[in-house]
Chain A
Amino acid sequence: DAGVIQSPRHEVTEMGQEVTLRCKPISGHDYLFWYRQTMMRGLELLIYFNNNVPIDDSGMPEDRFSAKMPNASFSTLKIQPSEPRDSAVYFCASSPGGNTEAFFGQGTRLTVV
């Protein structure tokens, strides 16, 4: 398996535009996590899915953020409209079970100007 695949690796967009980040988890993994890395809070859990169902989205900062997992092999994190303070590295991770090691993608560096 190629591991968790995120796209794009880098995204530069203007304030107010819609941004969509994509993630392909490892095949067979039941859990998918979205994180945002910031200097102050480290790896901040935004939302996680179990068997494609969102379990906890309490970390999603605002209504501008939404995430979907239409099937076991694909998830998106959307920001609409984007703002400069959304600039960060966003990571997707997947794991085969609840309390097991999670495998991370290489991240998407988002810059909103």
Chain B
Amino acid sequence: DQQVKQNSPSLSVQEGRISILNCDYTNSMFDYFLWYKKYPAEGPTFLISISSIKDKNEDGRFTVFLNKSAKHLSLHIVPSQPGDSAVYFCAASANDMRFGAGTRLTVKP
């Protein structure tokens, strides 16, 4: 049972534009949400997180939005840079940590 879903396997954007990655979850017990970035042949690395008591968290070019009523979160990257090209995983936690299938982001120069 996939409790965390990333329905877009890939996304391509132009350098300088905004990248929006989406994630949906089904378990209302999740109270902490994270985004990870993964390069080939490496483990995922933490990018940004948000607690369920907030609806927005910003860190430089990265902003995560949480809509609890819709059980939806998104990651905005602006402006997008070629170095942002990677696979992005959404994760949700209620002590355990469940991941989505990932979205491959390609930022074109």
Contacts and interface: CB of A to CB of B under 8 A. Distances in A.
Which of B91, B99, B100 is packed against the most chain A CB atoms within 10 Å? B99
Contact of A43 (B49, B93, B102): B102
Nearest to A109: B41
A105 B31 CA distance: 24
A12 interface: no
Nearest to B102: A42
A102 interface: yes
A56 interface: yes
Chain B binding surface, main DSSP class: strand
B2 interface: yes
B96 A105 contact: no
B101 A41 contact: yes
Contact of B93 (A41, A91, A99): A99
B34 interface: yes
B45 interface: yes
A42 B95 contact: no
Interface in B30-52: 31-32, 34, 36, 41-46, 49, 51
A25 interface: no
B72 interface: no
Nearest to B45: A104
Contacts of B45: 104
B98 interface: yes
Contacts of A33: 96-97
